[in-house]
Chains A and B, each alone.
Chain A
Amino acid sequence: MARRDPPKRFFLGMMGTPYRDETVTTLFRLADAAIAAGSHVDVWCCGGSVHLADASLGAEKPRDISQIEEPSPAPSTAALVTALARRGAGAFQWNICRYCAEEHGVVAPVPEARIRPSLHFVKLMSEADVSLILGRK
């Protein structure tokens, strides 16, 4: 795939239960690849995915006791949000639906994530060149 069009503005919506399958992994892979291509990326979280950027998750995921010998634990999703924001340098924003945040008790996301009014979803999506909603609520 050699063809290259100018970088676009991406809107990636993450809906519902985040840990049921690999959708969260794909979300981070897609956002990372879009940033690498020079695009602007807005992620919007609704439903259970509002917890992905919780500061209380810390820097690393809890150790998998089935692989207790593994020397390097994986980063938490909150740490990945922070890393993407640093890599994006102003071209990446992690947005959390306020309605869903209140419903799910999100009070302290990492500083790189912002809790937004739910209708901000429409604004961000209408500004985007590429809109993709991952998962199902």
Chain B
Amino acid sequence: MLVLIESQTGGAEDAASEALEAARRLAPDSAVVLVHCGVRRALRPGASIDALLSAGVRILVDEFSLTLRGLSRERLCAGVEVIGMDDVVELLSRDRVRAIWH
């Protein structure tokens, strides 16, 4: 299983697009954990996140990073999950998981 930890928000030159595309191709055997500015990707309207969810990718959003930016759960796309760091550790500890930080 691929776990992509995405820390950057999208921009004009979205360097994470290839990594997110890899997560989509590996669905449902993939998950994306959004941290730091990456949590902004999960804000509504989020066409790229909706596409990943539709493909079966789990989208997990770091609650701490949300709080730090004053963002509420209500602003997130439907279907994303808000998690803590203990959940990230649990996910990474599963067998056959490979994690990539971007």
- Please report A residues at the B interface, Cβ cutoff 8 Å: 1, 3-8, 10, 21-23, 26, 29-30, 32-34, 36-37, 39, 129-135
Which residues of chain A come closer than 8 Å to B92, judged between CB atoms?
A: 8, 10, 130, 132
Please measure, in the bound complex, the distance between the C-alpha atom of A39 and the C-alpha atom of B14, giving whole angstroms: 35
Task: Decide: A30 and B85 in contact? CB cutoff 8 A.
Answer: yes
Closest B residue by C-beta to A32: B85
Say how far B1's CB is from chain A's closest CB, in angstroms: 12
Please measure, in the bound complex, the distance between the C-alpha atom of A131 and the C-alpha atom of B91, giving whole angstroms: 13
Please measure, in the bound complex, the distance between the C-alpha atom of A4 and the C-alpha atom of B89, giving whole angstroms: 10
Q: How many A-B residue pairs have CB under 8 A?
A: 63
Please measure, in the bound complex, the distance between the C-alpha atom of A94 and the C-alpha atom of B64, giving whole angstroms: 24
27 CB contacts below 8 A, A to B, read A3-B94, A5-B90, A5-B94, A7-B93, A21-B36, A22-B35, A22-B36, A23-B7, A23-B36, A26-B85, A29-B64, A30-B85, A33-B84, A33-B85, A33-B86, A33-B88, A33-B89, A36-B86, A37-B86, A39-B93, A130-B93, A130-B97, A130-B99, A131-B99, A132-B99, A134-B101, A135-B101
Decide yes or no: A8 and B7 within 8 Å by CB, A21-B36, A33-B86, A33-B88 being known contacts.
no
Say how far A91's CB is from chain B's closest CB, in angstroms: 13
Other A-B pairs, 5, CB within 8 Å; known A10-B89, A26-B85: A8-B93, A10-B92, A22-B36, A39-B93, A134-B101
Q: Mark B63-102, 1 if CB is under 8 A from A, else 0.
A: 0110010000000000000011111111111110101010
Q: How many residues of B contact A (CB 8 A)?
A: 24
Q: Decide if B5 is an interface residue (CB 8 Å cutoff).
A: yes
Which residues of chain A come closer than 8 Å to B97, judged between CB atoms?
A: 130
Which residues of chain A come closer than 8 Å to B90, judged between CB atoms?
A: 1, 3-5, 37
Please measure, in the bound complex, the distance between the C-alpha atom of A126 and the C-alpha atom of B95, giving whole angstroms: 16
Please measure, in the bound complex, the distance between the C-alpha atom of A22 and the C-alpha atom of B68, giving whole angstroms: 10
The listed residue with most B CB atoms (<10 A of its CB), out of A7, A23, A29, is: A29
Task: Decide: B101 and A22 in contact? CB cutoff 8 A.
Answer: no
Closest A residue by C-beta to B81: A1
Task: Decide: B85 and A1 in contact? CB cutoff 8 A.
Answer: no
Please measure, in the bound complex, the distance between the C-alpha atom of A131 and the C-alpha atom of B19, giving whole angstroms: 18
Task: Decide: B68 and A37 in contact? CB cutoff 8 A.
Answer: no
Decide yes or no: A30 and B88 within 8 Å by CB, A39-B93, A132-B5 being known contacts.
yes
